[in-house]
A and B are shown apart, each in its own frame.
Chain A
């Protein structure tokens, strides 16, 4: 018996490890381990005010900070019976588009592309792929600038608050980002072509179930109170436990999710698979050009899906800006009640994120947060197992096995510091 181990999964956010137990040419066990300390976020805000909760929960994750903030706002505003005005709604959509641009460009260009082109990191790619690196950094910076404009900081900005925004940006600044978004569209189209024309390994392919938010009016989007599954079933986000159905396993502090007893995937690939037909304009063209039955069974296509969503988000920025500049800055909407329940669902870059709350007399009484990585965990392990079994049975070298497993794990863009429930696992 021996172990093939990826001790520190690099180019992901947080600490992860993969362990494969091998007996001859048979795989005994595959574990995707999370080496991240417990943070117990769901107990931090109990007894505190909703404003306190809103400030601290985005700190679960630096990359998805605004998704957490948006999901939290949707949950809290249901609890407090707040209906937000139109301008606030579009500002929130804009900030989420900014986050998608930032997160997807970081992952596609700087974390995943080195794998696909055979480099240890993005800086090393500069000699041969300087254009790609510079374009990636430019897009990421642009995404950050939208997040900064909407939330006051690139990370953990406090400007979006319950009932509105502390301050709305000026129309001049909004026009400037709309103009810049248009100029960056060719970059996204370029990386879609790179990823779309690449050959991907097939030996771990297997169909899975995909879940994502189902935006109203047959639109593509990142926000909804309804969840749609690839088998066509729909349900309200208030019933999120039907799908997330978390279970705790003794060898991992990460809670895990199953749908009808099978693992499922959330994230870009899930959204593009479930809602891709709704994509319009150039993102729609890119989808039509590259759509492929293998998307339903190969997680490595997640990078291409992210690139298509990057293009979608860039095209949405001017659309949101057009709406925002026409509207007057509304005042903050005050809570109508101090007790209530509610769940907010938002598509974070890595998948559906749920924040479910109960507020009693103006203090947090229940907090439940389900992160995308917690939902993907089981499926990541499934694909790692499939890949490991095949490669070990073929007698491939440990280094090859290690590299291929890392590529699969990284394709999911696992956000390991999403440690609302993700806790340290023993290092063997």
Chain B
């Protein structure tokens, strides 16, 4: 936008918020060192608690929300943001999938885990609630996932939004990017790689470094979770005598680490051959 336009045209109002998370996605925005001044110039950043003090909370065009809903306070804040925003974006794995704090959901009782960490305390506080993604409570218009988000994916989305355009969602798994990067497949090296079922957009950064995919961007659309799990628990093959089978529980643990409820549901539905449930 040229400076003349900026004077006459009203800039879209954007609010950036954090619920319960590590703040890594907001940090990724602050980490756009070369673009941060442009971000503040192309939109009116009415609220961004992590970066500024003069925040106002009114009607906004775009709300960008990081973090999972993990307390009643989080929920109240989210409902308030939804009410006064036209478009709501879930930012990062915690907002999209519940984050690592949702990895134990359905596995153990939340109250029991609170007791494990804090002991038997009678709180003068309201009970915190089990971690869930934003979409469990409010309408989410767009998701930018990842742990953390990819800076370029965010900038592209913000650029389109402030111009009034919609987002372009990614619909393929990490393996696609991994192939472009000409990596040797880590599944052949007997690594528990979640690339085939994980949403792309990270440029297969871990596999580029010989590290298997932990699935930090959550499940890709139509992920064949049963196929992936079945492959991992049946790795042994006559042609590859060195390979070992993975334990189904370990596969499930890894898939749920960043996949939260979505992965848990997909795994529960899947009938995995060779899995000891």
B168 at the A interface (CB under 8 A): no
* B73 CB within 8 Å of chain A: yes
Asked if B190 is at the interface (CB within 8 A of a chain A CB), the reply is no
Tell me the smallest distance from the CB of A122 to a CB of chain B, in Å. 8
Bound form: Cα–Cα A161–B186 in Å: 16
Q: Is the CB of B128 within 8 A of A152?
A: no
**At the interface with chain B, which of A57-65, A287-295, A390-398?**
A57-65
Per-position binary interface string of chain A over residues 331-363, scored 1 when its CB falls under 8 Å from any chain B CB and 0 otherwise: 000000000000000000000000000000000
Query: Do the beta carbons of A62 and B23 come within 8 Å of each other?
Result: yes
Judging by beta carbons under 8 Å apart, are A152 and B73 in contact? no
B118 touches A152 (CB 8 A): no
On chain A, the residues within 8 Å of B19 by CB distance are 37
If A10-B55, A37-B74, A48-B253 touch, does A424 touch B27 (CB 8 Å cutoff)? no
Q: CB of B158 within 8 A of chain A?
A: no
Q: How large is the interface on B (under 10, 10 to 19, 20 to 34, 35 or more residues)?
A: 35 or more
CB–CB B31/A38 < 8 A? no
- Would B216 and A156 count as touching, CB distance under 8 A? yes
> How many whole Å from B42's CB to the nearest CB in chain A?
13
Closest residue of chain B to A12, judged by CB? B50
Q: How far is the CA of A137 from the CA of B34 in the complex (A)?
A: 8
Whether the pair B122, A37 counts as a contact (CB closer than 8 A) is no
Q: Which residue of B lies closest to A48 (CB)?
A: B253
Q: Which residues of B contact A198 (CB under 8 A)?
A: none
How many Å from the CB of B129 to the closest CB on chain A? 8
Q: Residue B71 contacts which of A37, A44, A144 (CB distance < 8 angstroms)?
A: A37
Give the CA-CA distance A55 to B193 in the complex, in Å. Answer: 13
Other-chain residue from A35, A44, A152, A253 in contact with B100 (beta carbon distance below 8 A): A44
B125–A43 touching, CB < 8 Å: no
Chain B residues with CB under 8 A of A19 = none
Instruction: Report yes or no: B257 in contact with A248, Cβ–Cβ below 8 A.
Output: no
Tell me which of B7-15, B202-210, B233-241 binds A: B202-210
B210, A167: Cβ atoms closer than 8 Å = yes
Judge whether A250 and B24 touch: CB under 8 Å: no
Instruction: Tell me the bound Cα distance from A257 to B82 in angstroms.
Output: 38
Q: What chain A residues lie within 8 Å of B124 (beta carbons)?
A: 250-251, 426
Q: Are B118 and A421 in contact (CB under 8 A)?
A: yes
A284 CA / B256 CA spacing, docked (Å): 48
Most buried by A among B37, B123, B131: B123
Bound-complex Cα distance A158 to B74 (A): 29
A141 to B51, CA, bound (A): 16
The answer to whether A141 and B54 touch (CB under 8 A), given A37-B68, A38-B114, A426-B124, is: no
- Give A137 Cβ to nearest chain B Cβ, in Å: 4
Interface residues on A, range: 35 or more
B114 and A140 form a contact (CB under 8 A): no
Give the shortest distance, in Å, between A170 (CB) and chain B (any CB).
13
B residues 169-193 near A (Cβ < 8 Å) are none
Given the interface pairs A37-B70, A120-B54, the reply to whether A141 lies near B125 with Cβ below 8 Å is no
B73 with A427: CB separation less than 8 A: yes
CA distance A37 to B54 in the complex (A): 24
Q: Assess whether A37 is in contact with B131, with CB atoms less than 8 Å apart.
A: yes
Are B33 and A8 in contact, with the CB atoms below 8 A? no
Residues from chain A with Cβ under 8 Å of B52 in the complex: 10-11, 120-121, 123-124
Q: Is B119 an interface residue (CB 8 A)?
A: yes
Which of A43, A59, A166, A427 is close to B116, meaning CB atoms less than 8 Å apart?
A: A43
What residues of chain A lie closer than 8 Å to B151, measured between beta carbons? Answer: 154
Question: Are the C-beta atoms of A43 and B113 separated by less than 8 Å?
Answer: yes
Which of chain A's residues has its CB closest to B101's CB?
A39
CB of B34 within 8 A of CB of A141, answer: yes
A249–chain B nearest beta-carbon distance, Å = 9
Q: Is A185 interfacial (CB 8 A cutoff)? A: no
Name A40's contact: one of B27, B101, B123, B216 (CB within 8 Å). Answer: B101
A84 at the interface (CB under 8 A from B): no
Residue numbers in A under 8 Å from B162 (CB-CB):
none
Contact A250 B216, CB 8 Å, known A40-B104, A62-B24, A126-B37: no
A13 beta carbon closer than 8 Å to chain B: yes
Name the A residues within 8 Å of B110 (CB-CB): 40
Q: How far is the CA of A198 from the CA of B131 in the complex (A)?
A: 44
Q: Which A residues between 1 and 41 are near B, CB-CB below 8 angstroms?
A: 8, 10-15, 35-41
From A165, which residue of chain B is reached at the shortest CB distance?
B209
Q: Is the CB of B20 within 8 A of A154?
A: no
Q: Is the CB of B121 within 8 A of A55?
A: no
Please, which residues of chain B bring their CB within 8 A of the CB of A166? Answer: 206, 209-211
Which residues of A come within 8 Å of B, CB atoms? 8, 10-15, 35-44, 47-49, 52, 55-56, 59-63, 65, 106, 110, 114, 120-124, 126, 137-138, 140-141, 144, 152-159, 161, 165-167, 248, 250-251, 253, 255, 417, 419, 421, 423-427
Q: Jot down 13 A-B pairs with beta carbons below 8 A, ordered by A.
A: A8-B55, A11-B50, A15-B18, A39-B101, A41-B101, A48-B257, A55-B257, A106-B30, A153-B148, A155-B27, A155-B148, A248-B119, A253-B128
Other A-B contacts than A11-B50, A40-B110, A41-B101, 6 sampled, CB-CB below 8 A, are: A38-B101, A38-B117, A59-B147, A120-B53, A250-B125, A417-B18
8 shortest interchain CB distances as A-B pairs: A37-B70, A62-B24, A37-B20, A121-B52, A166-B209, A120-B54, A37-B71, A141-B33
